[in-house]
Structure 1
Amino acid sequence: MNLIKDAPLLADSGEPGFGVYVHWPFCAAKCPYCDFNSHVRHVAVDQDAYVKAFLAEMTAMRAISGSRTVTSIFMGGGTPSLMKPETVDAILNGIAKHWHVPGGIEITMEANPSSVEAERFRGYRAAGVNRVSLGVQALNDRDLKFLGRLHNVEDALRAVKLAREIFPRMSFDLIYARPGQTGAEWTRELNEAISYAVDHLSLYQLTIEEGTPFFGLHKAGKIIIPDQDAAAELYEITQSVTSAAGMPAYEVSNHAQPGAESRHNLTYWRYGDYAGIGPGAHGRLTSGGRKFATATHRTPEEWLKLVNEQGHGMVDRDALETAEQADEMLLMGLRLREGLDLARWSTLSGRGLDPEREDFLLQHGFVERIGNSRLRCTPQGMLILDAVVADLAA
């Protein structure tokens, strides 16, 4: 079966859906803040071998999931824009062979501005990609250099312009709470980003992750990031500027014009099922009335070896207990502006929320009810989301 590549984008149905995530683990360079499963190789990657392995692992995942209708596809990494368009085409057609893929579903690819070429972008579009997510991260060259990015602002804006011309939808990422960043600087940068007519922005606070080069530098006092109060101020500026521009947060770090929300990420946050394919990919698949958490080997070469030996690279396939599923659904649902579907959560967990705990959070303005069917965090509650979730889950 071939992918339907030019159908109009479908509207969000509001349902959790079923997503397929494909992880391309290779990067041209490793950013010093990044703790994602990404790997630098100084020899050419055998893309044909990886395509063959992706297709084999799809067969294994299809055996677990059974027949499903795909509502979104996401190619992440790593740097998926290092793939040849032919590689992308083979992967997407493989997904369409293993599951039912209607025309018009969201198909996203992550791309770095340093690896963007017009011919390659047009090749991805011809393969069926209809949404691109660009890793811009900053709009000044000083901070791009600090973040270890291979592109400059000129490269980033060229990539944004190409994406707007070629793809029906696009997004790009920015990192804030960078060393020395002021509220006025972040306000200007946000407004500049919005001016490029994107319909979606992912805005992440810089965090220092253990195991990254930044961790050691931060521990040695060579990198000083804004303190908790300053970071909270930058977060509040983020909410104010994007809301005023008609791109309110629909999730903790994601902002969109109405209707332009990421369908694939909504599948995660609404606690839908998704197949995770490729080195280091995670998944949630329901089979035989049980929900399984899957994970594949993180190292590309070891994953490839496993797939060649056993037909998949899975190293974990754990059946989740009901309580684990309920906690995951609670955590994911409260990240969303639309909130947690209380009836669905109660059906899964077999209980309701503790009235005293909920009332405490309501009275202190950390959560609010949306009618009788949903509960969501307030902007104040989003600042302490982990604590809110822990309180409700107890």
Structure 2
Amino acid sequence: MTEARETEARETEARETDARETEARETDAPEPARDAGDRTARIAALREAYRADLDAGTDRFLGPRRTTCPWCSSGRLAPRLRTTDLLQHKPGRFTLEGCADCGHVFQNPQLTAEGLEFYYRDFYDGLGEQRMSGTFGGRAAMYRGRVEAMLPHDSAPKAWLDVGTGHGHFCATARTVLPGTVFDGLDFTDGVALAAREGRVDHAYRGAFPELAPTLASRYDVVSMFHYLEHSTDPDRELRAAHEAVRPGGHLLIEVPDPQSRYARLLGRWWLPWLQPQHLHFIPVANLRRRLAGLGFTVVAEQHAEAHDPVDLLAAVWLALDHTAPREDAPWLPARPGPLRRAARTALLLAGVPALLTATLLDRFAVRPLSRRLGLCNAYRLVARRQ
């Protein structure tokens, strides 16, 4: 499938999913008012559709395996990680491979447009919307740090485009730091429309960035991509779109997971930034710097400790506990868990509380101050100026 057709299919499926979710929201009570019984009813209503999707098997959600690196075209590939969906527990197995020449890590075989729709469904929106909104809405300090990374290079940008903005929580915090800046948001899901309705972004663009970029040419002083490129089927195409949208002399601000983090090897499949199957590409910092230079950008800042999110050990413990505990109810599971399974899950998670607390303390007070020195930073951030 060509990139254009894949993008079109992905957007069509996203629109259909959003339409179903919008209809459900219009006929149900607002999310905060829903009790556990109502959530159970919603899960039961979705189960038939999920079972129909799964009856044909999950292999059809993966495309053909690549024999060359998508970043440098080398044929020297080797498996890096094999895992399952550790967050939603949807069926399927996924492989990450690494390039021996450039270090690029990528999902291989990669999800098709149909696969992307299936595994994204009810993750950021639908059943997962309230959880994700709470997660992203409570990270104001991190968002301020991202804005402050730009201030030494442009202290008063007039227009800022946040690509992959989701529900727009970054923009809402950023305008408290830069009240004179217009913050626009772009995303291919309906979350960007919600961001506009809530006043978190000034203007919402819905769709694929490379398709929209020609209409945004040289419009922005800053374009940001925070943990966006790893979700893209073609990161290089996204970077070219960013070059088109940034005005000459403007800046591109990128933050992505660091596949060279020591945590990536120490924690293996329990390293949260692997986030399979949603994350498709992991770009070493040297690769991204060279690609930006080739596109006409000059990297003016590189940050590692500042981009580090101190949750690695906590997330690893939680993922392991959640994987071991009997599954909670979900529409992609064959049946609702009974009382004994629910009780067993609760008991195991309660038993894991001391480990979760210990991991939190280690993340924040032991590892965080030394993360850069020990090579444990889980992300990096680049600021690049368009020449």
- In the superposition, the TM-score normalised over structure 2's length comes to 0.28
More helix by share: 2
